[in-house]
Structure 1
Amino acid sequence: MNVKPKVVVIGAGIIGVTSAINLQKKGHQVILLDKGGVAAGASTGNCGLMAVSEIVPISKPGVLSQVPNWLMDPEGPVTVRAKHALTMMPWFMRFLKSGSENNVNNIAQGLTQLSNKAAAAYAPLLKESDIEDLLKPHEVIYLFDDRNEIIEDQFSWDLRHNCGFKMEFLEGDILREMEPEISPNIDSGMLMKGWDYFSDPQRLTQSLANTFSQNGGEIRLSKVTDLIKKDGKIIAALLDNYEKLEADHFVIACGAWSRILADQVGDYIPVEAMAGYNTTILRPNVSLKHPLLHHNGGFVITPMEMGLRVGGTLELGGLNSEPNYNRVRAITRKAQNILPNLEIIEKTEWVGYRPMMPDTLPVIDKSPRYSNLIYACGHGQLGITYGAITGELVADLITQGSSEKVNMSPYSATRF
Structure 2
Amino acid sequence: MRIIVAGAGIVGVSCAIWLQRAGHDVTIVDRAGPASGTSHGNAGVLAAGAVLPVTTPGLMRRAPGMLLNRDAPLFLRWSYVPRLMPFLMRYLPHATDAHVDRYGAAMSMLLHDTLDQHRALARDTPAARFISEEDYCFGYATRAAYDADAYGWGKRKALGYEFSVISGATHGRDDPVFGTAFDTVVRCHNHGRISDPGAYVQALADHFVAEGGQLHLTEITDVNVTPDGAIDALITRDGEMRADRIVFAMGPWSKAIAHKLGIKVPFESERGYHIELLNPSRMPRFPMMVASGKFVLTPMEGRLRAAGVIEFGGLDNGPSRAPFALLRRQVASLLPDVTHDGIVEWMGHRPAPADSLPLIGANDPGGRSYSAFGHQHVGLTGGPKTGRIIADLIDGKQPNADLAPFDPMKFAARTARPSGRMT
TM bin, normalised by shorter chain, reads over 0.9
1:295-346 deviations in Å (ceiling 9; x for gaps): 1111111100131111110111110112013312321221122222122441
1:238 aligns with 2:254: no
Counterpart among 399, 403, 407 of residue 402 in structure 2: 407
* Residue pair 1:362, 1:380 contacting (<8 A) in 2 also: yes
For structure 1, the 5+ residue unaligned runs are none
Partners of 1:294 and 1:367 in 2: how far apart?
38
Partners of 1:167 and 1:91 in 2: how far apart?
35
SS of equivalent residue, structure 1 residue 319: coil
Cα offset for 1:396?
Answer: 1.4
Which stretches of structure 1, 4 residues or longer, exceed 4 Å deviation after superposition?
A: none
Amino acid in the other structure paired with 1:122: H
SS of equivalent residue, structure 1 residue 380: coil
Partners of 2:343 and 2:92 in 1: how far apart?
37
Partners of 2:362 and 2:125 in 1: how far apart?
29
Amino acid in the other structure paired with 2:284: L
* Residue pair 2:4, 2:246 contacting (<8 A) in 1 also: yes
Cα offset for 1:282?
Answer: 1.1
Counterpart among 120, 123, 127 of residue 127 in structure 1: 123
Amino acid in the other structure paired with 1:239: T
Cα offset for 1:73?
Answer: 4.3
What does residue 211 of structure 1 align with?
207
Amino acid in the other structure paired with 1:409: A
What does residue 377 of structure 1 align with?
373
For structure 2, the 5+ residue unaligned runs are 412-423
Please, what TM-score do these two structures have when normalized by structure 1? 0.94
Please, what TM-score do these two structures have when normalized by structure 2? 0.93
What does residue 276 of structure 2 align with?
280
What does residue 171 of structure 1 align with?
167
* Residue pair 1:299, 1:310 contacting (<8 A) in 2 also: yes
* Residue pair 1:144, 1:187 contacting (<8 A) in 2 also: yes
SS of equivalent residue, structure 2 residue 83: coil
Matches within 5 A, 1:291-370: 291-368=287-364
What does residue 137 of structure 2 align with?
141
Aligned-pair Cα RMSD in Å: 1.6
Partners of 2:193 and 2:217 in 1: how far apart?
29
Partners of 2:2 and 2:279 in 1: how far apart?
46
Counterpart among 29, 52, 63 of residue 48 in structure 2: 52
Counterpart among 188, 192, 197 of residue 193 in structure 2: 197
* Residue pair 1:138, 1:289 contacting (<8 A) in 2 also: no
What does residue 256 of structure 2 align with?
260
What does residue 96 of structure 1 align with?
92
Partners of 2:344 and 2:290 in 1: how far apart?
21
Change (3 A) 1:75 1:240: farther
Cα offset for 1:258?
Answer: 0.4
Identity of aligned residues (%): 29
The alignment of Structure 1 onto Structure 2 pairs a total of residues equal to: 410
1:159-198 deviations in Å (ceiling 9; x for gaps): 0000000111121211211111113132121101122110
* Residue pair 1:311, 1:328 contacting (<8 A) in 2 also: no
Matches within 5 A, 1:73-92: 73=69, 76-92=72-88
